[in-house]
Structures are given as C-alpha cells and as structure tokens.
C-alpha cells in the first residue's frame, strides 16, 4: 500500500514537472541579465594575436572554467573577464572575448505575467521563413526537421512557442512586461483578455508585433485567428528571476545601470593595457574603431562587438547581430558576476614575466643560428686543415 502511494506521488510530481516545463517553455530565462551591465568585444580579426600563458601565474587573476577574471584598470568596480570563443558565434572567426562587467546579483521581481495558449491555429510553419535566426526584432529558434515540430520566438518582453499537437499547431504567447488593465488604461487597438472579472490588455504594438511574426511564420492570417479560441495558463502577479548591478548602498538608486561609466573609455583603456603587456597584439587603429562602439548592454552572443562582414559584405568592427547571417541566441547570461575574494588589487607580474613568452623563442632562434655558424666555421677549418 505504501509502495503504491509512493509511486502515485512520484508520478504526480513527474507530471507536474512536465506541465510546468511546458508552461514556461516560451519564457525568457530572466527579466534582465548580466549582459545588460557589460560590454564585450571578440578580438577575432585574422591578424590579431594573443597570449594568455603567463596570465595563469599573475597575481590577482582568477582562472575558472576557462575564464580569466581581474579588476579593470578603469575602475575597481568593474571586472575584466577574458575567454576564448568559437568562430560559429563571432562572425566565422574564433577569437578572444574581452568583457568589462559590473558585479551583478540575482533576485526575483514580482511582475504581471499573461500566458495564453491558442488552439485555433490553421496554418503550417513555412520552413524557409523561419530558417533565419531573426525577423523584425524577433529571435527565432526552430527544430531542424522536415516538418517542424516546435518553434520559439522571443522579442522584448514577449515570448511565443508554436508546437505540433495532434497534427495541428498550438501557439503559446507569454507577455511579462508593461501589462495594463483594459478597464483602467483602455486597450485602444489592442486585444483585451478577460477572466474572473478582471481584464488584461495586449496593447496595439504587442498585438501587431505578434501578429506580424506569426503571419510571417505561416501560422495565421490575422490575430483574430489566434484569439478565436484560447485558454489562459496564467494571468497575474508572478515572481520572475532578474539580475541587477551589485552596487554600494550609496549608489543603490543606480541599480538600473545608471552608474556613471564611460564604457568607450573603459574598453579603450583595457585594450591598450592588454597590448602594452603583450597579452594581445592589436593595431591602434582597431582599438580606435572598437572603442566608440562600446556601450552598456553591448555584450552576450547577439550584441557583442566582433570583426565580421556586414549586410553589404564589408568586413569591419560591428555588433554581431548586425553581421551577415548571424547565429542569434535566445539565451541570456542570467548568472551572477561576483568579484572573487582572491582578487585583492590590480594585476601584477613577476619582473620581466610579461615579455618572457616572446623572449624565449627569439633566444632559441639566436642560439640555433650561432650553432649553425659554428658548425660552418668548424667544417671549413677542418677542410683547410686536411688540405695542408
């Protein structure tokens, strides 16, 4: 009997987990991310070189999971995070990611969430229309199948998931930002969702944006088709994970990122320092082209600065999302960035350590040339001696 009860309990928990997974499948991972408090450049220009060997032995540098972290030379309240990245997510050329990051902390924020599932979809997903990773501000991620079984679409404060069920597509729409009441705020040109005596407005801009994406994907002809039959999964206040800047108390009002940081100056200073220490070999012209692009939030796979071809085929320093055929990601950096207690000050090296990487091969070449010259001299001397 006890065994049966335990089995039923575990089964119920498993099914509940599946339901919750399906409900949140379209959700963005966090409201704000650590990317919103950072700037990042990938040094992937072909002639740019780098050497991280001696950083491993430097003081006040933490190496963890392939990432080197130390205090910025612009401000002790900024971190520098260095790691190698694959070319598939940086414009086709692998390179070195230099990220300037404000320390961040995670929390949960109570927000109004509207989550509905439409079961009145009549269209079919047009494969060629969703083969790109973005459309009109929406990020697209679909399964790679002849008949696509699932697509996810994410835009600012909105997420949609289209999935096959009994040979028909259902579409889940979740909105988690700037939601108002139809009765209080009105819903001019939008769509009003009513349930339990309350009302929630999908405003005109959100309605038109969702309609545009679903029409382009081939799923609907108009929003009326989406709204003709739907069920409400969630409509109310819910706690959502979010990331904010971890600032001193006197600057707590700046947790939205309003802290006074000149990101262009900070990135220029860091790149110049890395060059001066022979950690990276980069042209001054490249530093001058990269720095003006630096702004808060230009970080993460979609928004970071890379050297890639733009939409007209010209190679230059641009934001990755503006490159030709970018592989955009739906994921956000929802983890915290904390200054390690092992970092007590700025980066310091042992005397002459920073140039050792280049001195050793040069010295070896000189030694080899000297040996070669001595062999020639000895051979000639021996030859002359035998002639006599």
d(CA 271, CA 250): 30
Contact assessment for residue 251 and residue 260, using Cβ atoms and an 8 Å cutoff: no
pLDDT of residue 98: 98
Residue-wise over 32-59: b if at least 16 C-beta within 10 A, else e?
A: bbbbbbbbbbbbbbeebebebebbeebe
Contact assessment for residue 318 and residue 305, using Cβ atoms and an 8 Å cutoff: yes
Name the least confident of 56-70, 122-136, 330-344, 369-383: 369-383
d(CA 173, CA 114): 8
Structure tokens at 287: 């530093």
Q: Which residues, including other chains, have CB under 8 Å from residue 206's CB and lie 6 or more apart?
A: 157, 158, 175, 190
pLDDT of residue 14: 37
pLDDT band of 251, cuts 50, 70, 90:
low
User: Contacts for 355-361 with beta carbons within 8 Å, 24 or more apart?
Assistant: 355/278, 356/54, 357/51, 357/53, 357/54, 357/278, 358/278
Contact assessment for residue 156 and residue 174, using Cβ atoms and an 8 Å cutoff: no
Contact assessment for residue 302 and residue 155, using Cβ atoms and an 8 Å cutoff: no
d(CA 193, CA 202): 8
**pLDDT mean across residues, the chain:** 86
pLDDT of residue 259: 62
Bridge partners, 317 (sequence order):
307
pLDDT band of 19, cuts 50, 70, 90:
very low
Using alpha carbons, select from 231, 222, 217, 240 the residue that is nearest to residue 157: 240
Name the least confident of 41-45, 50-54, 57-61, 362-366: 362-366
- For the chain, what's the residue count? 388
In terms of Cβ atoms closer than 10 Å to its own Cβ (0-12, 13-18, 19+), residue 216 is middle
Pairing of strands 62-64, 49-50: unpaired
- pLDDT tens by residue, 181-234: 888 667 888 999 988 778 899 999 999 999 999 999 999 999 999 999 999 999
Residue 254 Rama label (left phi>0; alpha psi -120 to 50; beta): alpha
Backbone torsions φ then ψ of 279, nearest 5 degrees = -75, -40
- pLDDT tens by residue, 305-331: 999 999 899 999 999 999 988 888 888
Using alpha carbons, select from 308, 329, 330 the residue that is nearest to residue 319: 308
Summarize the confidence of residues 36-43 as an average pLDDT. 97
In 52-127 the beta strands, taken as DSSP E runs, fall at 62-64, 67-71, 79-85, 95-101, 104-118
Name the least confident of 9-18, 109-118, 239-248, 296-305: 9-18
Nearest-5° Cα angle at 379, 377 to 383: 115
pLDDT at 378 over 50: yes
pLDDT of residue 87: 82
Using alpha carbons, select from 329, 373, 306, 304 the residue that is nearest to residue 39: 304
Type and span of the H or E element at 187: none
Sketch the domain layout of the chain as residue ranges: 34-103+246-322, 108-241, 353-387
């Amino acid at each position: 009997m006890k065994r049966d009860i335990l089995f039923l309990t575990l089964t119920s928990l498993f099914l509940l987990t599946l339901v919750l997974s399906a409900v949140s499948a379209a959700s963005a991972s966090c409201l704000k991310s650590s990317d919103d408090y950072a700037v990042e450049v990938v040094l992937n220009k072909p002639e740019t070189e780098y050497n991280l060997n001696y950083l491993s032995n430097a003081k006040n540098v933490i190496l963890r999971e392939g990432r080197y972290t130390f205090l910025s030379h612009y401000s002790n309240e900024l971190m520098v995070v260095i790691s190698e990245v694959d070319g598939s997510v940086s414009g086709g050329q692998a390179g070195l990611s230099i990220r300037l990051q404000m320390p961040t902390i995670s929390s949960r924020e109570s927000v109004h969430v509207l989550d509905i599932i439409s079961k009145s979809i009549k269209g079919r997903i047009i494969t060629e229309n969703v083969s790109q990773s973005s459309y009109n501000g929406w990020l697209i991620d679909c399964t790679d199948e002849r008949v696509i079984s699932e697509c996810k679409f994410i835009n600012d404060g909105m997420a949609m998931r289209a999935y096959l069920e009994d040979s028909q597509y259902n579409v889940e729409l979740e909105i988690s930002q700037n939601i108002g009441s139809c009765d209080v705020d009105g819903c001019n040109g939008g769509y009003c969702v009513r349930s339990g005596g309350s009302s929630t407005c999908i405003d005109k801009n959100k309605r038109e944006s969702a309609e545009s994406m679903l029409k382009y994907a081939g799923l609907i002809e108009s929003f009326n088709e989406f709204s003709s039959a739907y069920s409400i999964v969630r409509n109310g206040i819910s706690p959502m994970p979010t990331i904010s800047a971890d600032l001193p108390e006197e600057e707590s009002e700046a947790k939205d990122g309003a802290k006074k940081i000149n990101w262009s100056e900070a990135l220029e200073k860091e790149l110049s320092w890395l060059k001066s220490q022979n950690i990276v070999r980069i042209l001054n012209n490249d530093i001058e082209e990269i720095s003006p692009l630096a702004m808060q939030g230009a970080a993460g796979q979609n928004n970071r600065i890379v050297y890639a071809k733009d939409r007209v085929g010209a190679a230059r320093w641009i934001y990755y999302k503006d490159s030709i055929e970018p592989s955009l990601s739906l994921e956000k950096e929802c983890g915290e960035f904390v200054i390690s207690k092992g970092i007590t000050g700025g980066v310091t090296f042992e005397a002459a350590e920073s140039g050792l990487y280049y001195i050793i091969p040069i010295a070896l070449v000189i030694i080899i040339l000297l040996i070669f010259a001595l062999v020639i001299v000895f051979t000639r001397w021996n030859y002359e001696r035998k002639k006599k």
